[in-house]
Amino acid sequence: MTKGTRRARALFRVSSLIRHSAFVIRHYMKLLACGVFLLVAGIANAALEKYSSLVVADKDPGERAPSNAVRVTYLGVNGFQFETGGHVLLVDPYFTRVGLWSAALNQRIESNPDRVNEGLKQVRPRADALLVTHAHFDHLLDAPEIMRRTHAQIAAGPTAIRLVESFGISPNKCQIVEQGSIRKVGPWTIRAFAAQHDRLFGKVPFECNSRPSPQSSPSGRRGRGALGKSESASQPVKVSDWCVGEPFAFVKEAAGKRIYIDSGGVPGVSPDRRIRGVDLAILGMALPDSRQRFAEAVNQLRPRFVLPSHQDDMFAPVSRGFTFGKMTNFPELVRESKRKDLPGRLILLDYYRPWTLR
């Protein structure tokens, strides 16, 4: 055996050892990551039980909502049903629960009719209106099908309306809202306020690519920030096609109660200064940005009750039960609420367990 051959064999053995070591390291890193994930998931599963003293619910979930109160039902993610005097409002109803990898890899997604059907069994068969805070898939994906089944009209920003109309929903069932819009629906007075979406790693997820003039809105109607008419005929396909659009917060008034709801925000930007002294503040808390503005939002709104929303694992089916999302931090909200003596009673709602705001 020549000296060159021995050297080549030695280099081959060393190279093989390095490749094997790298494989072993990657294998154990994967196992470690899986272990950490399962540990976090296990902690999350027990989290709602840990805060059972904060969970509110009616004793009789089948009881009709009285005319002098508002019954609130949590549908998951940022979805809610509000009832009073036989009239129903839906906000951000979403039952499909697209999987984590589909969202992360920007894959094709569509509304899941089976999950929508199961979700709608938990709400009233007819709704007066459906409000949407912004156009991301976890707020809007199921809206066209829900509108068809509940006969609800929709009120949302121009981009959300464009996306809904692309599924064949009549423009007569759609109303564009703008900053300061006021709408009467049965006993409800609904006011819309411009809001901001929280950032993920410094950037708003799935921002819209184009910002045409205000004249370029669905069906030729005026609306700020809508996508252009040239895009209005195509249905969204991938996750990113459900771009954020124009975020809104809503104040709903009925039965002598005022309810504020948004889906998140950014630190340093409080809710509109005209909104103060609400009965219930529902604040989106999915990401760190929203948590950083929690105290300033609560101090501005001065609510009787504070309900952090958008905290559950939006990628897990509702059938698994409520689990906190991996990027949420409800314990910190509890600590901050006590440390700063924030106004309002902090509460939680479980899936499909109604609670009456009196």
Of the listed ranges 10-19, 137-146, 200-209, the least confidently predicted one is: 10-19
Both tokens assigned to 249 = 């917060």
For residue 223, what pLDDT is reported?
A: 40
User: Residue 87 in contact with residue 187, Cβ under 8 Å?
Assistant: yes
Instruction: Give the mean model confidence (pLDDT) for residues 197-206.
Output: 94
For residue 234, what pLDDT is reported?
A: 87
233 vs 76, higher pLDDT: 76
User: Residue 352 in contact with residue 74, Cβ under 8 Å?
Assistant: yes
Degrees to nearest 5, angle at CA 67 with 61 and 70? 55
| pLDDT band (50, 70, 90) for residue 12 | low
Query: Which is nearest to 107 in space by CA: 236, 239, 199, 214?
Result: 239
For residue 4, what pLDDT is reported?
A: 59
Tokens 């990401």 -> residue:
287
Amino acid identity of residue 90, one-letter, is L
* CATH placement of domain 54-357: 3.60.15.10
For residue 321, what pLDDT is reported?
A: 94
Instruction: Give the mean model confidence (pLDDT) for residues 83-101.
Output: 96
Mean pLDDT is highest, among 1-10, 165-174, 210-219, for 165-174
Instruction: Give the mean model confidence (pLDDT) for residues 208-216.
Output: 51
* Distant-in-sequence contacts of 33-41, Cβ < 8 A, 24+ apart: 40/326, 41/323
Q: Is the pLDDT of residue 126 over 90?
A: yes
Query: Could you give the angle at which helices 143-150 and 113-120 cross, rounded to 10 degrees?
Result: 50
355 vs 218, higher pLDDT: 355
Of the listed ranges 103-112, 165-174, 181-190, 215-224, the least confidently predicted one is: 215-224
Q: Is the pLDDT of residue 144 over 80?
A: yes
Q: Is the pLDDT of residue 231 over 50?
A: no
Q: Is the pLDDT of residue 10 over 80?
A: no
Say how far apart CA 18 and CA 12 lie, in whole Å: 10
To which H or E segment does residue 32 belong? Answer: helix 3-50
- Provide the whole-model pTM: 0.83
Give the percent of the chain with pLDDT over 90: 76
For residue 277, what pLDDT is reported?
A: 97
| pLDDT band (50, 70, 90) for residue 202 | very high
Instruction: Give the mean model confidence (pLDDT) for residues 108-132.
Output: 97
| pLDDT band (50, 70, 90) for residue 67 | confident
Q: Is the pLDDT of residue 274 over 80?
A: yes
| pLDDT band (50, 70, 90) for residue 209 | confident
Both tokens assigned to 77 = 């993610």
Instruction: Give the mean model confidence (pLDDT) for residues 97-123.
Output: 97
Summarised one tens digit per residue, pLDDT across range 155-192 is: 999 999 999 999 999 999 999 999 999 999 999 999 99
Summarised one tens digit per residue, pLDDT across range 16-65 is: 555 544 443 443 443 343 333 333 333 444 468 999 999 999 998 878 78
| pLDDT band (50, 70, 90) for residue 219 | very low
| pLDDT band (50, 70, 90) for residue 349 | very high
The domain ranges of the chain are 1-50, 54-357
Instruction: Give the mean model confidence (pLDDT) for residues 216-223.
Output: 43
